[in-house]
């Protein structure tokens, strides 16, 4: 069977689904494929228990994609970003600093959502768009491009002729490899455990990063669960330590997590399963090839610090969509894709390098290095213009 469309999107993760909804809502004929059907129930086997903080600029993308109105009732606002240095001999706060969105905006920094819920609402949106064909359980098998179009062969044997192929198929992207685009990767020997907890002290819409040797322990607000304040947690540490914690019984793990959080919200009670992920930094050497554009983790992967990962992905989508709408008759041509690369690449490199530095600083174990990290946090917070600039940069508005 052979089909034609405007755009093939390889990858049905959150970024790929968002791209399909955004381009579909703009009137483009889209085929989106992913070999793994999305799990849209948080209690089901294989559910993605991570959460995603959508920063302010992401809301515009979600609105244009027809997603915001259905997501908004499930949002937990992120009004304050709190950073705690607990890098002394004991896991106790030494320096606590807060960045309040009210200093730069009438809106919160962003809104946090469970990943499985995002998938549920996004799949429902695609089902409502007649010009979007989402094929769960089908992947991309091969890519052939020429100046005027691309031919993608799917795993079920279907051949699709498209003007543009968007690679949203992850850090090991098959479409990126097929297009001959290389990547640069840094490994840290770290892993992240992700889970959700309830706690007796309300989070009051504060996202909290507790820094100690090994990596940050981050609690991001979620809506209350069974009447209790609830947060999503990302616990980064050296790989062997993280792997050992995955083997702990629930009581021991809760005690260890509560101690690592510096008891900031009181004792933590585990309310989901634990999942573990390797931490790397990676970026593609280019964002484009003939008839191919890279977005999301096919283009950039970073440690989960500062909520930059998916928000950068949504910036990729917004930039690509603006270029496509400006010259729809030339969708996917060399001029459009070169413009996309130039518009996004410098910003991606800046953020990748910045998060890399922050992560390596968080791994510091020597007492002098730990003290330097705490002093740096104090200095950044104390200079109001610098603090404001960092908040704007974090949102992607500078």
- Of 283, 1, 18, 342, whose CA–CA distance to 9 is shortest? 18
Q: What share of the chain is helix, strand, coil (3-state, %, to 5)?
A: 40, 35, 30
- What residue spans define the domains of the chain? 2-40+118-185+282-358, 72-112+187-279+361-395
The pLDDT > 70 percentage for the chain reads: 88
The pLDDT > 90 percentage for the chain reads: 66
C-alpha Rg value of the chain to the nearest Å: 21
CATH fold for the domain made of 72-112+187-279+361-395: D-Amino Acid Oxidase; Chain A, domain 2 (3.30.9)
Reported pTM: 0.88
Stronger pLDDT, 85 or 124, i.e. the higher one: 124
Distances (CA, A) of 147 to 250, 291, 298: 57, 7, 22
Q: What is the pLDDT of residues 20-75, one digit of tens each?
A: 999 999 999 999 999 999 988 888 888 887 888 888 888 999 999 999 999 999 99
Q: What is the pLDDT of residues 377-389, one digit of tens each?
A: 554 445 444 444 4
Question: Dihedral of the CA atoms 238, 240, 241, 245 (nearest 10)?
Answer: 130
- End-to-end Cα separation, the chain, in angstroms: 47
Q: How many CB atoms lie within 10 A of CB 254?
A: 16
List the CATH code of the domain at 2-40+118-185+282-358.
Answer: 3.50.50.60
């Amino acid at each position: 069977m052979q089909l034609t469309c405007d755009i093939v999107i390889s990858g049905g993760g959150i970024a790929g689904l968002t791209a399909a909804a955004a381009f579909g809502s703009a009137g483009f004929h889209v085929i989106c494929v992913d070999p793994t059907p999305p799990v849209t129930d948080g209690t089901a086997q294989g559910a993605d228990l991570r959460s995603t903080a959508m920063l302010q600029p992401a809301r515009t993308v979600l609105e244009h994609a027809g997603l915001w109105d259905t997501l908004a009732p499930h949002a937990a606002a992120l009004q304050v970003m709190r950073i705690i240095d607990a890098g002394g001999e004991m896991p106790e706060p030494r320096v606590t600093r807060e960045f309040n969105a009210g200093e730069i905006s009438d809106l919160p920094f962003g809104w946090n959502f469970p990943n499985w819920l995002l998938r549920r609402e996004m799949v429902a949106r695609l089902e409502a768009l007649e010009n979007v064909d989402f094929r769960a359980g089908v992947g991309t098998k091969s890519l052939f491009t020429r100046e005027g179009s691309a031919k993608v062969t799917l795993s079920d044997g279907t051949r699709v002729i498209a003007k543009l192929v968007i690679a949203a198929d992850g850090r090991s992207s098959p479409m990126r490899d097929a297009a001959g685009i290389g990547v640069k990767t840094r490994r840290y020997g770290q892993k992240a455990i992700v889970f959700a907890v309830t706690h007796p002290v309300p989070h009051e819409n504060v996202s909290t990063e507790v820094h100690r040797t090994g990596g940050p322990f981050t609690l991001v607000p979620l809506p209350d669960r069974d009447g209790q304040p609830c947060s999503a947690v990302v616990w980064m540490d050296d790989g062997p330590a993280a792997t050992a914690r995955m083997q702990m019984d629930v009581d021991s793990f809760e005690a260890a997590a509560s101690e690592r959080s510096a008891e900031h919200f009181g004792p933590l009670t585990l309310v989901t399963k634990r999942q573990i992920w390797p931490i790397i930094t990676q970026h593609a050497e280019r964002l484009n090839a003939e008839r191919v554009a890279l977005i999301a983790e096919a283009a950039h992967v970073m440690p989960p610090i500062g909520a930059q990962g998916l928000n950068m992905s949504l910036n990729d989508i917004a930039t690509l969509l603006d270029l496509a709408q400006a010259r729809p008759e030339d969708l996917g041509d060399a001029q459009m894709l070169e413009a996309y690369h130039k518009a996004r690449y410098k910003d991606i490199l800046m953020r990748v390098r910045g998060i890399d530095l922050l992560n390596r600083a968080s791994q510091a174990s020597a007492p002098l290095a730990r003290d330097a990290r705490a002093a740096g946090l104090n200095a950044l917070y104390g200079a109001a213009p610098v603090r404001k600039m960092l908040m704007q940069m974090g949102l992607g508005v500078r």
